[in-house]
Amino acid sequence: MQIILLAAALALTAQSGKPEAQPQPQPAPQAQPEPEGDGIGGREMSEEAANLDFIIVNHTGQTIVELNISPAGEESWSDNLLHYPEVPDQERAAASYSRDVELCRWDVRVRYQGSGNRQSWPAVNLCDTVRVELR
């Protein structure tokens, strides 16, 4: 069936004396520029978008007196981000951080009241949630 249709199209083209239309070549797709960044998933942000706000929920069994974050794997800890002097067990608290690079994965670290012990949670995705449950 396709051969018959092709033959009919060629016959009509030959009768009209006009050459068969050739498809025009399409330009090659252009690569999109990579977002500016540090090569590990971060890119510079505008000042308006630079705040990282989230809520921690303390399920650790201890009172938290300090909260710090660091880009995942970098051990470059922020100052205390808590808006309250302490976060008792089973309570929640707001935290915010002004950043100059957009990253999603952050290490989260707390310091406990009394013992001063610290606990860390690696590579928490703060882009996908505003509520971080610490257990």
Q: Tens digits of per-residue pLDDT, 44-53?
A: 444 545 688 9
Nearest to 108 by CA among 124, 93, 96, 95: 124
93-114 confidence digits (pLDDT tens): 999 988 777 888 999 999 999 9
58-91 confidence digits (pLDDT tens): 999 999 999 999 999 999 999 999 988 999 999 9
The larger pLDDT score, comparing residue 78 to residue 2, is at 78
- Number of CB atoms found within 10 A of residue 132's CB: 20
Q: Where are the domains of the chain?
A: 44-134
At 17 the pLDDT is 52
Give the 3-state secondary structure percentages of the chain, helix then strand then coil, rounded to 5: 15, 35, 50
- What is the dotted CATH code of the domain comprising 44-134? 2.60.40
